A and B are shown apart, each in its own frame.
Chain A
Amino acid sequence: MKTVFKRTPTLKDCPTHYCPGCGHGIAHRLVAEIIDELGIRSRTIGIAPVGCAVLAYDYLDVDMIEVPHGRPPAVATGMKRTNPDKIIFSYQGDGDLAAIGTAEIIHAAHRGEQITVIFINNAVFGMTGGQMAPTTVLGQVTATTPKGRNRTGEGYPLQISELLAALPGAIYLERCSLHNPAQISKTKKAIKHAFELQIEGAEGLALVEVLSPCPTYWRMTPVKAMEWIEKEMTKVFPLGRLKDVAGE
């Protein structure tokens, strides 16, 4: 019998703590597959965020560190500057990267740090119980926006990728989604490209924003959550390549 699919070695053979329908499992698998396809496991160091993915090192079989909330781009800077031959990636949620860690991601991009950032945007704080994130869309009900997010007082959803696109030090920015197999395939290509740029020594930061479902705190079934990404989230966070200096 022909094997048509198998678990990639860098993805550990264990159950995860993620909720049913969560996107982290898919995103982890993509990262693991890319690391194996590129043959960089032995020189890759990963950075786990504070948030639902804090235990990423339990699932990804590479050297990893867990760091203070929002600080992965600073930690990555310390690692890459002292180890230019290593491949450094951070895996961050929207609370980590778009709220408490905005200064760190903007300045890492601004300095043109040669790192790969995987930014999981699920429009909500997951681990702490579904509070509003900077990326929460208008009208979205969360634990701290019981009447739905209101632009007055709570602001508009923060478009980090568009913000970073203005910085010369950010050389590759693409927004992808996990809402169907075709988009997952596109997401994998984008993340792979972000790693390849670092391997080639491209001078700048590469970030892939991934729209990812959180059925638990969106209070939806997993299927409805996927539909909500396509219908609602992509209106605020349009998919596509925002910037690719190498390809332009």
Chain B
Amino acid sequence: MCGNEALAEAAIIAGLDAYFGYPITPQNEIPAYMSRRMPEEGRVFVQSESELAAINMVFGASATGKRAMTSSSSPGISLMQEGLSYLAGAELPAVVVNVMRGGPGLGNIAPSQADYFQATRGGGHGDYRTITLAPASVQEMADCMPLAFDLADQYRMTVIVLADGILGQMMEPIVLDKKKRRKLPAKDWALTGATGREQNIVRSLWLGETALENHNYKLQAKYENIQKNEVLCEQYEVDDAEIVVVAYGIAARIVRPAVNKARQAGIKAGWIRPITLWPFPTEQISRAADQMRIFLTVEMSNGQMVEDVKLAVAGKAAVLLYGRPGGGVPTVDEILERIKQLTLPAKR
């Protein structure tokens, strides 16, 4: 299975009620798969007239308590930002998959990681966050879906799965199974028709003095809770390392062999791989920065996550970037060379 299909099937297993989407490369396998499988399961598939409509269809389905998702790629995700802001304001759960491609503008259809800022800073207007998961394999494309739906329902907010064109297209064997699920709160806020209860209202408009300010404090408290409890991160050979490479998603896959080769060459290298990009593993990186001399972030962009690494390191160590923007994919040798340059200046 390719990553896009693995993700789609995993979403169905996770109890997806409705998929809404608009075609865009490199994620077209998702709507194609959903258009076949969702009707087989007696569930909803709609090809929308635009990404704007798709995210609003998600908004509508989610407001009635259903599990809904959409998927797109970078330019389409930009169009959805209005909806993402409203979902945040209205506190509705949603899962949005971004199979990133090169930008800005129409860019190209090559893999990219240039939407990190957009995903982790909210993206639309207003003070809000979206939980952002960064899978790094086809197996993880599948594994992150039940987690994404559970997190969305638990916290009543959008979870973004931030993948890229390689993860979407590449094929790897995977195991699909029903993982243990979280205990989730009842959706007593959902619009199901006012039967034997007062009306439910889903809204993002808060007029009146301090009403919106208080709503924002409530959202902020939720975000702080997530920052405390939901960070996911993987690390390797960090304890004795003089250089730690920080990378996520497909870039982290390329970093692994580079770090192994550096170790073989006698360089004390390790890596940290954020799995949740928001909440960011600030503490893990900060702890590592107490002992480390150098952090190198490797990104398929001109450097976006590097800013979060710098905030976490807080001046305790040097933070450098190796970035390939516009659809460029770093090679193992390029990364190894950069590690050598930074750690063995005298020998060169």
Contacts and interface: CB of A to CB of B under 8 A. Distances in A.
Interface of A: 41-45, 47, 54-55, 57, 61-68, 71, 74-79, 81-83, 86, 103-104, 107, 110-111
Contacts of B205: 54-55, 66
A178 to B, nearest CB: 25
A67 B59 contact: yes
> Interface centre among A71, A82, A104, by most B CB within 10 Å?
A82
Nearest to B198: A61
A45 B46 CA distance: 20
B193 A42 contact: yes
Contact of A78 (B18, B86, B202): B18
A103 B53 contact: yes
Given A63-B192, A64-B191, A45 B64 contact: yes
A75 B194 contact: no
Given A42-B193, A71-B53, A104-B49, 4 more contacts: A57-B199, A66-B202, A67-B59, A78-B46
B60 interface: yes
B63 interface: yes
> Interface centre among A65, A78, A107, by most B CB within 10 Å?
A78
Contacts of B200: 63-64
> Interface centre among A44, A61, A66, by most B CB within 10 Å?
A66
A68 B83 contact: yes
B191 A78 contact: no
A86 B54 CA distance: 21
A43 B62 CA distance: 17
Contact of A74 (B48, B63, B192, B199): B48
Contacts of B57: 74-75, 77-78, 81
B201 A76 contact: no
A75 B205 CA distance: 17
Contacts of B86: 67-68
Contact of B60 (A44, A62, A79): A79
B143 interface: no
Contacts of A55: 205
Contacts of A68: 56, 59, 82-83, 86
> Interface centre among B52, B57, B195, by most A CB within 10 Å?
B57
Contacts of A45: 64, 191, 193
A77 B58 CA distance: 9
Given A67-B59, A75-B56, A103-B50, A57 B64 contact: no
A45 B205 CA distance: 18
A82 to B, nearest CB: 4
Contact of A63 (B20, B56, B68, B191): B191
Contacts of A67: 56, 59-60, 86
B203 A57 contact: yes
Interface in B36-77: 44, 46, 48-50, 52-54, 56-64, 66, 68
Contacts of A107: 48-49, 53
A107 B52 CA distance: 12
Closest 6 CB pairs of A and B: A78-B60, A78-B57, A75-B60, A74-B56, A107-B49, A78-B61
A81 B202 CA distance: 19
Contacts of B90: 65-66
Contacts of B59: 67-68, 71, 74-75, 78
> Interface centre among B49, B50, B60, B63, by most A CB within 10 Å?
B60
A77 B59 CA distance: 10
A64 B66 contact: no
